[in-house]
DNA sequence: CTGAAAGCGCTTACAG
DNA sequence: CTGAAAGCGCTTACAG
């Protein structure tokens, strides 16, 4: 079963390949009779003709693909949802999103060369050399809100910092004076964990609160228990966690230790994962608006492809979701 | 900055493009002096030559890409991890995995035609027409353990059925006689929810237990509460849930209703998501071995590409993780 | 209004 | 041991 080509369509409809191409691509600036158009389209349909993307890409040097490179850290439902929405938004512009779970298995260059995407969206950070290589190949390189160093070196950190500040603001607003921080043990998350903790510290300083003790917490009940015990050694009455999973572990630890939440210790997370509202007690958390982030990303991609101006960075991406744990 | 082509390398190293191709592809059956090889390679490196994948694909009709199509249902951490591993296993064979979050945005055909993958791995189910189209285009189509109708129409259902049976076996083994089922409200999950419930029913019948009442449960505490109340109308003392998220909602509902778990009602989920062990009480669940599934999938891809025999389906993918909730 | 022809960059029989 | 040439399928000046 050989491939159906535009030559087949041309022969079958009694026109040249040029005409087939014009008709099927709705090329402007050519006048082709309605009659001919109809015939060509009918034949193409009947034959099940589909243009060869490889040939098209070779000829034009560009594809309809947008490559989305995922970072080395565990993505979770938040990023899943973001990808879904990005896929939808770009599909409206006839762009297909392809996601690559990058894990240092092979050089990134092998991938984008093989795919020849129109644009590469990095949810992972690219090295300067990688980004440069892609740009030279005519590929648009787009960072993201969740990407370290998307435009300026400080923008990402500033954003993550605000996550931490917001946690402290809520806790302090509820009257807590002695805070603790439960951070992740996953080294791949250092780019996030660092700035978030910085934000927590800065806000504490700003509010005149003591510098919070920091405890690394695995996502297990045992680690949560150890963390709660360690934190309760001191005067800590509230814990800000790196994310909801860590917060859930702290919650489990408090439960095991017989420490009541939020009466004896308050807990606040980040992300608002599905399990957050089902926790005991329901978890107070900071959610990052996926809709806005996804819309910003797709707008960035489109702007880069159209050569338009960069879309404005979304503001107030962060929202406090107050439940019972803090 | 125009693209560096094999012609550039040929000119620069004083040989023909043929020779360049032979050297760079390590083509067997040709004898080229070590001296020439060295020179060509050096020039290619110096010029930063990278073959055009589009041209190569056009010429050979095949790429080094494996397209992985995700289903219309919410994937979650289980599938994320599976993709990670699959990516790693196939990378060892110089294959790049590309993931597409399929959401009915555009016809699947547009995608695989644009990508020209060597193989398509469906975590979503393909229609017979879609699968046929891909096969005709010379693309290997691989189903998966989690894919409805991978090889035979019954294999997938049988597997899902076993999930339900296992839940009932554990519950009945703990002495429960009156079981209830908490199913998902997400219609996209029907292909999974149906067979799982069938398994629950079959096993109940087999064990001489009454047919379990079924309650659809949103992933919210309120829905969990309503479910627990509805189930407690009758004699139900144990609930099998569609998955961990639903189970977590039931747990939250029991908490809100003041019903003790597992004393008054036992709960068992499916998946063993990270939050399961952190729940109150820690959730007993059925886990599906990702390692085995990923290994099976990559073996299937490789077998299909090499024309080898299909790898044996992994058995005992299911494992009971007993914690405190049941 | 439509067609013949070039060319995108590669691989591979074929012919030295 | 190496090269000239064809051809994968497409789009697009260019010439009617």
pLDDT in tens, B15-39: 888 888 888 888 877 778 888 888 8
For residue A170, the model assigns a pLDDT of: 98
Please say whether the beta carbons of A120 and A134 come within 8 A.
yes
For residue B74, the model assigns a pLDDT of: 66
For residue B176, the model assigns a pLDDT of: 97
| Domain residue ranges of chain A, discontinuous segments joined by + | 6-51, 62-151+291-314, 155-288
| Mean confidence (pLDDT) of chain A | 86
Average pLDDT over residues B198-208: 97
* Peptide bond just before B281 cis, omega within 30 deg: yes
Backbone dihedral angles phi then psi of residue A78, each to the nearest 5 degrees = -60, -50
| Mean confidence (pLDDT) of chain B | 86
CATH of A62-151+291-314, one of 3.65.10.10, 3.90.1150.10, 3.20.20.70, 3.40.50.2300: 3.40.50.2300
Domain A6-51 in CATH 1.10.260.40? The answer is yes
CA/C1' separation A31–D12 (Å)? 15
Whether residues B273 and A275 touch (CB distance < 8 A) is answered with yes
Stronger pLDDT, B100 or A102, i.e. the higher one: B100
Q: Say what the pTM is.
A: 0.82
Q: Is the torsion defined by CA of B165, B167, B168, B170 positive or negative?
A: positive
CA/C1' separation A171–D9 (Å)? 64
Of all protein residues, which has its CA closest to the C1' atom of D8? B59
Average pLDDT over residues B174-178: 96
What the block records as the tokens of B31 is: 């004898």
CA A170 to chain B, closest CA, distance in angstroms equals: 24
Average pLDDT over residues B80-86: 82
For residue B187, the model assigns a pLDDT of: 86
* Peptide bond just before A215 cis, omega within 30 deg: no
Q: Which helix (H) or strand (E) holds B217?
A: strand B214-217
Average pLDDT over residues B256-282: 94
Indicate the angle between helix axes B155-173 and B190-206, nearest 10 degrees.
50
Q: What is the CA radius of gyration of chain A?
A: 26
Question: Which nucleotides on chain D have any atom < 7 A from a protein Cβ?
Answer: 1-5, 7-13
The dihedral region occupied by B256, where left means phi > 0, alpha psi between -120 and 50, and beta the remainder, is alpha
For residue A154, the model assigns a pLDDT of: 58
Topology of domain B61-151+291-314, per CATH?
A: Rossmann fold (3.40.50)
What the block records as the tokens of A165 is: 């500040």
CB nearest to B274's CB, from A64, A94, A219: A219
Of all protein residues, which has its CA closest to the C1' atom of C3? A16
Tokens 């107030």: give the residue: A316
C-alpha distances in angstroms, A237 versus B158, B159, B304?
A: 51, 48, 59
Q: Which of A238, A244, A248 is nearest to A171 (CA)?
A: A238
Tokens 């129109």: give the residue: A118
For residue B217, the model assigns a pLDDT of: 97
- Report the C-alpha gap between B21 and B27 in whole angstroms: 8
Substitution target from B44, B45, B54 for chain A, most A beta carbons within 10 A: B54
**Length of chain B, in residues:** 326
The rounded percent of chain B whose pLDDT value lies above 70 is 92
Backbone dihedral angles phi then psi of residue B170, each to the nearest 5 degrees = -65, -45
For residue B104, the model assigns a pLDDT of: 66
Backbone dihedral angles phi then psi of residue A236, each to the nearest 5 degrees = -55, 130
Strands in B65-70's sheet, in edge-to-edge order, are A140-142, A119-122, A65-70, A96-101, B96-101, B65-70, B119-122, B140-142
Backbone dihedral angles phi then psi of residue A92, each to the nearest 5 degrees = -65, -20
Of all protein residues, which has its CA closest to the C1' atom of D3? B16
Q: Which of A304-313, B152-161, B307-316 has the lowest mean pLDDT?
A: B152-161
Whether residues B74 and A88 touch (CB distance < 8 A) is answered with no
CB nearest to A54's CB, from B57, B87, B92: B57
For residue A190, the model assigns a pLDDT of: 84
For residue A149, the model assigns a pLDDT of: 47
Answer yes or no: is pLDDT of B77 > 80: no
Burial classification of residue B324, based on how many CB atoms lie within 10 Å of its CB (0-12 exposed, 13-18 middle, 19 or more buried)? middle
What the block records as the tokens of A1 is: 């079963």
CA/C1' separation A64–C2 (Å)? 29
CA/C1' separation B141–C8 (Å)? 30
Chain A residues lying within 8 Å of B88, measured CB to CB: 103, 105
Q: What is the CA radius of gyration of chain B?
A: 26
Q: Report helix, strand or coil for B61.
A: coil
β-strand pairing of B284-288 with B318-321: antiparallel
Q: What is the DSSP letter of B277?
A: G
Average pLDDT over residues B186-196: 87
Q: CB-side exposure of B31: number of CA atoms within 13 Å? A: 0
A214-218: long-range contacts, CB 8 A cutoff, minimum separation 24: A214/A180, A214/A181, A214/A183, A215/A180, A215/A181, A215/A182, A215/A183, A216/A182, A216/A183, A216/A184, A216/A185, A217/A182, A217/A183, A217/A184, A217/A185, A217/A241, A217/A242, A217/A246, A217/A249, A217/A250, A217/A253, A218/A185, A218/A249
Q: CATH code for B155-288? A: 3.40.50.2300
Please say whether the beta carbons of B303 and B311 come within 8 A.
yes
Substitution target from B70, B113, B218, B274 for chain A, most A beta carbons within 10 A: B274
pLDDT tens, residue order, chain A (326 aa):
567 888 888 888 888 888 888 888 888 777 788 888 888 888 888 887 878 888 888 888 778 888 888 876 666 677 777 888 888 888 888 788 888 887 766 677 777 777 778 888 887 667 777 787 788 777 888 875 444 444 454 566 778 899 999 999 999 999 999 999 999 998 888 888 999 999 999 999 999 999 999 999 999 999 999 999 999 999 999 999 999 999 999 999 999 999 999 999 999 999 998 899 999 999 999 998 877 888 888 888 888 888 888 888 887 789 999 999 99
Strand C contacts (Cβ < 7 A) comprise A 14-19, 22, 30-33, 36, 55, 58-59, 61; B 2-3, 5-7, 17-18, 20-22, 24-25, 27, 49-52, 55-56, 58-60
Do B61-151+291-314 and B155-288 agree at the fold level?
Answer: yes
Our measurement of the distance from residue B283's CA atom to the centroid of its chain's CA atoms, rounded to an integer in Å, reads 23
Q: B84: nearest CA in chain A?
A: A101
Stronger pLDDT, A181 or B107, i.e. the higher one: A181
Backbone dihedral angles phi then psi of residue B83, each to the nearest 5 degrees = -65, -40
Q: B244: nearest CA in chain A?
A: A275
CA/C1' separation B230–C9 (Å)? 68
């Amino acid at each position: 079963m050989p491939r159906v080509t535009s030559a087949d369509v041309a022969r079958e409809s009694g026109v040249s390949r040029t005409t087939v191409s014009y008709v099927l691509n709705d090329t402007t600036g050519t006048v082709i009779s309605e009659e001919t158009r109809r015939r060509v389209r009918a034949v193409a349909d009947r034959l099940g003709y589909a243009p060869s993307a490889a040939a098209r890409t070779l000829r034009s040097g560009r594809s309809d693909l947008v490559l989305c490179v995922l970072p080395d850290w565990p993505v979770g439902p938040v990023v899943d949802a973001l990808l879904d929405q990005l896929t939808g938004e770009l599909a409206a512009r006839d762009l297909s999103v392809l996601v690559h779970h990058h894990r240092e298995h092979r050089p990134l260059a092998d991938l984008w060369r093989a795919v020849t995407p129109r644009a590469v969206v990095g949810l992972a950070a690219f090295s300067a050399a990688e980004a440069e290589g892609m740009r030279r190949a005519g590929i648009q390189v787009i960072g993201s809100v969740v990407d370290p160093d998307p435009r300026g070196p400080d923008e990402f950190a500033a954003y993550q910092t605000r996550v931490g500040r917001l946690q402290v603001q809520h806790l302090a607003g509820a009257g807590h004076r002695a805070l603790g921080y439960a951070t992740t043990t996953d080294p791949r998350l250092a780019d996030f964990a660092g700035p978030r903790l910085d934000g927590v510290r800065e806000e504490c300083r700003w509010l005149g609160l003591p510098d919070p003790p920091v405890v690394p917490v695995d996502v297990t009940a045992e680690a949560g228990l150890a963390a709660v015990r360690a934190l309760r050694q001191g005067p800590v009455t509230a814990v800000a966690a790196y994310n909801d999973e860590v917060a859930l572990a702290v919650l489990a630890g408090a439960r095991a230790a017989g420490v009541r939440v939020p009466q004896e210790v308050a807990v606040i997370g980040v992300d608002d994962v599905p399990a957050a509202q089902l926790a005991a007690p329901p978890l107070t958390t900071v959610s990052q608006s996926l809709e806005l982030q996804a819309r910003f990303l797709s707008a960035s991609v489109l702007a880069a492809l159209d050569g338009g101006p960069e879309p404005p960075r979304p503001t107030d991406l962060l929202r406090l979701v107050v439940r019972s744990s803090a």
